[in-house]
Amino acid sequence: MTERQDLAGKVAMITGGGSGIGLGCARYLAEAGARVAIIDVNQAAGGAACEQIGCGAIFVRTDVSSSADCRHAVEEVADSFGRIDILVNSAGVIRRKSVVDLAEEEWDLVLGVSLKGTYLMSKYAIPFMERTGGAIVNIGSGWGLKGGPQAAAYCAAKGGVVNLTRAMAIDHGPQKIRVNCVCPGDVDTPLLRSEAVQLGVNENAFMAEAADRPLARVGTPLDIAKAVYFLVSDLSLWVTGAVVVVDGGGLA
């Protein structure tokens, strides 16, 4: 446990917080003193994440593509902690297919979780954040800034997240709500490893190819969590509408 406690008194909601990047963010923000709410559709993963984090973390099972679920999650967190200061929209899924091969239901799933989920969680959290100001970080992707093969829905969703971030920053700056986007490269998570299965390729070879970038490794959830921490902390009080690429030099 680190001695950082500069987020003490803050309340952070993290979608997709049961695993991967979301869990990494939840752990790191909790270590900085924030009270954390894990928002995830996976009951077992969400409960395990809360046990792992401790520090009074709570879990609210939520399908972020459901308006009713998102409203309930925000109200539950506000009732439990009395405020909402930080929202990290990290929930996401991927289907490695072209538009020709992609089923309509798969398109709806990917866009529903990554893009609609970001919209819905923000829609219901912002009215609470307006009372004291706050910070929202949307998790985009390098493929939200450039194209990628056999990932049409994912690229569309993450591209939408990037520009939604800019629009939200403009709209909600006057309420002292900062909105930024972190675009990770390949990060070692269950989501990334699932892509090897979807593509029918060897996982070790897939991960080795993912590490082919200037810093010669895939990222970790902690790499992304540190960037998120910067954007929700007082270190970035004049930063909003920014898109921060954290990818070991992959886009370069």
* Contact in structure between 36 and 59 (CB atoms under 8 Å): no
* Contact in structure between 217 and 211 (CB atoms under 8 Å): yes
At residue 191, what is the residue type?
A: L
Please, what is the Cα angle at 107 between 102 and 113, to 5 degrees?
145
Active site residue 154: yes
* Contact in structure between 192 and 218 (CB atoms under 8 Å): yes
Of the residues 119, 124, 154, 229, only one is catalytic, namely 154
d(CA 68, CA 219): 34
- Judging by DSSP bridges, how do beta strands 58-61 and 243-246 pair with one another? unpaired
Return the active site residues. Answer: 154
